[in-house]
Structure 1
Amino acid sequence: MDVEAELVAWLKAQLAVRVLTDLPADLNAVLPVVQVQRIGGSDDGFRLDRALVDVDVYAATRPAASDLMALTRTRLLAGLRGTTTNAAVFSAARTITAPAWRDYENTSLRRFGATFEIFCHPVS
């Protein structure tokens, strides 16, 4: 089960913005964007996966990036529990690092990010 892929698909439906794992070369042209990347975690070697997932949002302005990060966090924490996708059952999500401003080398856009722990297991 690919937690990144499942979260990308789920968040696309929840947020109605571009959600991806790899940033496009034309990032400025496709804002706003939500980036999902697994950065670690643990599992029980059988079914339970406790994925640490970094979520960064990119927007044209700081308020827009902050608002999109707040909405993304709300959806993850309040809406993910009990959700089943084609490959995963999500049992919980919690914040590891709260949303915060993150510098980015491209000064024509703004980024906010947070880290979440996502609890899930395969559907079958």
Structure 2
Amino acid sequence: MKSLLLYCLVGVMNTCIGFGIIFALTFLGILPELSNFLGYFFGIIFSFFLNNAITFSQNKIDKKQGLIRFILSMSIAYLINLAVLFLSYRVLEIDVYFSQILAGASYTLCGFLMSRFFVWARR
């Protein structure tokens, strides 16, 4: 439970960093799509190092291999997020805002489980 709370705290910090980059680049006139990509790219990298140092610090891993596993895990979590959003909003016709919350929760839970049992799994 402690690691899930730390993971969520790192997620909040990561979101601030990612959106900070996105908004700063957009303000500087960079294309919104490129700003978005760069914000998420650096946000994922930042998140990996924070989770490595804080959330899962007791589980020592090879950083290069761990980063690859983390990017793969977050990609899977994002695809699950999209599937939950599509199912809840388009198929079940649940309110779009509530659907976004459900999708976000699925991303967080999947990301945590993949991080805990795949990226930083004790080997």
Fold match, TM over 0.5? no
Select the structure of larger CA radius of gyration. 2
TM-score (norm 2): 0.34
Larger helix percent: 2
TM-score (norm 1): 0.34
Larger strand percent: 1
